[in-house]
Chain A
């Protein structure tokens, strides 16, 4: 028992460090890409690290009418929850640290926790801007949860229909590319689901066009408006880790292939090759669903956001799900 706990603890620390480091790198890359698309050079790649280091040096300022305990606890909860998600997600060919104790449903629940922590922190900060921001964040969460759930459930159901055991487990998802079990309608359905997930990512990460809860020009930062110093650094880190989590989730659901499946590499070389391939896939996801979308659009108004996610994205998700169901019912692809 003891060595197992030690391994788990070490694994958790390792994952936490990895999540924060990779998240900040991803943010740097995203900023660089966005800058290039706007004909700028952009800040250096390590700018997010500089920002975090600077924030960590600064004092926390707590507003007079804030609920101090909630206000201070929210950033810690947000970061902890974000890191916890990573414990359930595979990295390349490295299987999740806590893979045996939770499945993708848990991941979806955990994904809402940082958002809820931000809502709590925003409401506790006692600023009208933050209050409006918190209300918007709640509405945003309600709006994007449905398409996300549809995509996950549809994929797991299709795997189940193909006779794959334990389809909600991330280990299963990572080892069984769903593309392999579907026929032509299924492939179209999966592409639609992928589109839906690509649009859920900016909402989950509060990026333009879905940064309505933070809306710099309207609410000067919305629910984060009163946060400063170390607390803000924790929220920024939580956002960075969440970016890794969301990108990894997309990779696991839709692009789970590993290099070692095609090229016979073993041992450490294989793991490194898989990791490099994994980073490449994550960068691809970040480019399309974070950088490209955020430079190509204006911010949604909150009512547009709800219409967009409940109307269009849910519709796309449902169509994808129905196609997957048809695929199984018509017996195309692999059916058990």
Chain B
């Protein structure tokens, strides 16, 4: 079958299990948000996403209590996603602007910034509560 080498290959494949990861559901639900709400309520089960690697860079977390307001993170942020709040000497991070490079984590002298594993961040509102970290 060297004329059409794909034929034996696809015939072998039909007997094997497909490799697609069926996240979040096998077929597209009528409404994704509706489906996720159902999952939260325990009415539906979600197919888990592919496992995250160690040191994955997801949504940023910020511990404002130990922040010393040195502004180093503002200086190295490539996306200008971090805003310094002079009144409280803390920062505010806009997640929609963040490019997840984690450079602020590296530079922070008191390590008050971390990257979490959270990646489902889609939202219709840029300034929703979930997408502003302070």
Contact = CB atoms under 8 A, between A and B. Distances in A.
Interface of A: 33, 35-41, 43-44, 292, 295-297
A36 B7 contact: no
B27 A43 contact: yes
Given A36-B13, A295-B6, A296-B6, 10 more contacts: A33-B14, A37-B14, A39-B20, A40-B20, A44-B27, A292-B10, A292-B11, A295-B10, A296-B4, A297-B4
A38 B22 contact: no
Given A296-B4, A297-B4, A36 B14 contact: yes
B27 A296 contact: no
Which bracket fits the contact residues of B? 10 to 19
Contacts of A297: 4, 6
B22 A41 contact: yes
Interface in B1-55: 4, 6-7, 10-11, 13-14, 16, 18-20, 22, 26-27
A41 B20 contact: yes
Contact of B10 (A38, A41, A43, A44): A38
A296 B7 contact: yes
Given A41-B26, A43-B27, A44-B27, A296 B10 contact: yes
B109 to A, nearest CB: 49
A39 B27 contact: no
Contacts of B4: 296-297
Contacts of A37: 10-11, 13-14
A41 B27 CA distance: 9
Given A43-B27, A44-B27, A38 B6 contact: no
A38 B26 contact: no
A187 B31 CA distance: 55
Given A43-B27, A296-B4, A35 B10 contact: no
A40 B27 contact: no
Contacts of A40: 18-20
Contact of A35 (B6, B18, B27): B18
A276 B18 CA distance: 28
Contacts of B19: 39-40
Contacts of B22: 41
A38 B4 CA distance: 15
